[in-house]
Amino acid sequence: MTGLATGGTKPSVSVIVPCFNYGHLLGECVASVLDQDGVDVRLLVIDDCSSDDSADVAARLAERHDRIELRRHARNMGLIATANEGLQWAQGDYVVLLSADDLLVPGSLQRATQVMTEHPNVGLTYGRALRLTEGSQLIVPGERRRLAKKRSAKIWRGADWIRLRCRSGHNCIASPEAVVRTSVQRAVGGYDPSCRHTSDLNMWLRIASVADIAFIRGSSQAIYRVHGDSMWRSHDSPMVDLHERRAAFDAFFTECSSRLENPGSLRDTVARTLARQALWKGSRTVDRGEDAELARELIAFALDVYPTARHLREWRGLRLRQRLGAGRSQLFPPFLLTGATHRLRHHASWLRLRHLGV
C-alpha cells in the first residue's frame, strides 16, 4: 500500500463520452469532467446519431468550452464501435471512457493519475463506483467530506489480478471509475465487439496481461447510473449473463495465453467457477419452483463449460433438490443452512469488492 503524492506537471487525460439519447444527462456528465482539478483534461463527445436533442446539447457545450470536441455520426454505430473510435482519438497520457449517463467524482482523475505517476508499471487504476438509481440522491451523505481525506492505493501484479478475476468469474469494475494509461491502451487495442455485454471485462483482463493494476482505497471515483436504458451493462437473463462472461474469458485466453502464467490452470479455474455459479442458480430455480427449462439450460451450460461438473458439490445439491421436488427443497434443513451460508459468502464478497476492489 502506498500513499498518494501531490505536485509535479499536470498529467493530461482524454475523456471519451459516447452519447446516444442522453441529452438530458450530458450536461451533468460533462460538468463532472470539466470540474476535475490537478489534471489537463480534454473531452471528445461522440453523438451516435441520437434521436433526441443530444447533438444540440453537445454543440452548445462545445461552443462554451474549448476543452470539448464534438463528433456526430450520420448513422448509429453502437457503443463498442463508438468507444473504439474515441480510444483511437485519445492523445492524453491517460484515457477514460465515460458514458454520458455516468459521472466522475471530484478529484478522481488527480487521485488516479498520481498513483500511475508513482507506479509506472500500473496500466489501469480504478476505485469504488457509487451506484445512483433513478430518484436517489446524487452524492451520498458524507461523501464530500470523505473526498478531502488522504487516500491509499493497493497495487496488484497483473498476473495476480487476473487470477482473482478467474476465481470470481465476475467483473469488478463498472467502467466509469477506470483510468487507463494511453500507451497501455494502444498496446492492447480496442474493445472486442464479440463480447457484446462484457467487452469491458475482456478489456481489463487484457490490460492486466501487460501491466499492473491499482485500486484506490477509501474513495469513490465515479458515479454509475442504474436505470432501464443503461448501456453495456444489462443482461437479459441468467443464461445471457453466464454466456457473456464466458465469452469474455474465452476471447481473452485466445488472444493472451502466450503472455500468461499457467494459462491452462487459469482456464480451468474460471470454467469451474462458472459451472459452480450455473449450478447454484439452477438450485435456486428449483428451490423457488420456477422455470424447469431454465434449470435444464443451467445444467447444460455447467457441463459444457466444465465437463467434470458432476463432481462438484453444487451438482450433488442440485440433483438432490430435483429429487425432493421443485419448491419442496426449501423445507429441507440442510438446504436452509446452505442458503444462509451462500448469502453470507455473497455479503462477504460485496464487502471485499467495496473495500478492496476485488
pLDDT tens, position by position, for the chain (358 residues)? Answer: 444 444 458 999 999 999 999 999 999 999 999 999 999 999 999 999 999 999 999 999 999 999 999 999 999 999 999 999 999 999 999 999 999 999 999 999 999 999 999 999 999 999 999 988 766 655 543 444 444 344 689 999 999 999 999 999 999 998 899 999 999 999 999 999 999 899 999 999 999 999 999 999 988 999 998 866 554 444 568 999 999 999 999 999 999 999 999 999 999 999 999 999 999 999 888 878 877 899 999 999 999 999 999 999 999 988 888 887 766 555 555 555 555 555 555 545 555 555 566 6
86, three cell numbers: 474515441
277 belongs to a structural domain: yes
Cell matching residue 300: 447444460
Q: How far apart, in whole angstroms, are the C-alpha atoms of residue 21 and residue 13?
A: 25
Show which of 203, 226, 249 is a domain's final residue.
226
Q: What are phi and psi of 318, to 5 degrees?
A: -65, -45
User: Which stretch of DSSP H or E encloses residue 26?
Assistant: helix 23-34
Among 226, 244, 273, which residue terminates a domain? 226
**pTM to 2 decimals?**
0.88
Residue 109 belongs to some domain of the structure: yes
b vs e for 318-336, b when ≥16 Cβ sit within 10 Å of the residue's Cβ?
bbebbebebeebbeeeebe
Whether residues 87 and 205 fall in one domain? yes
Report DSSP state, residue 211.
S
Tell me the three cell numbers of residue 54.
443530444
Say if residues 12 and 117 touch (Cβ distance below 8 Å): no
**Residue 249, domain member (yes or no):** no
Which residues constitute the domain of residue 131?
7-226
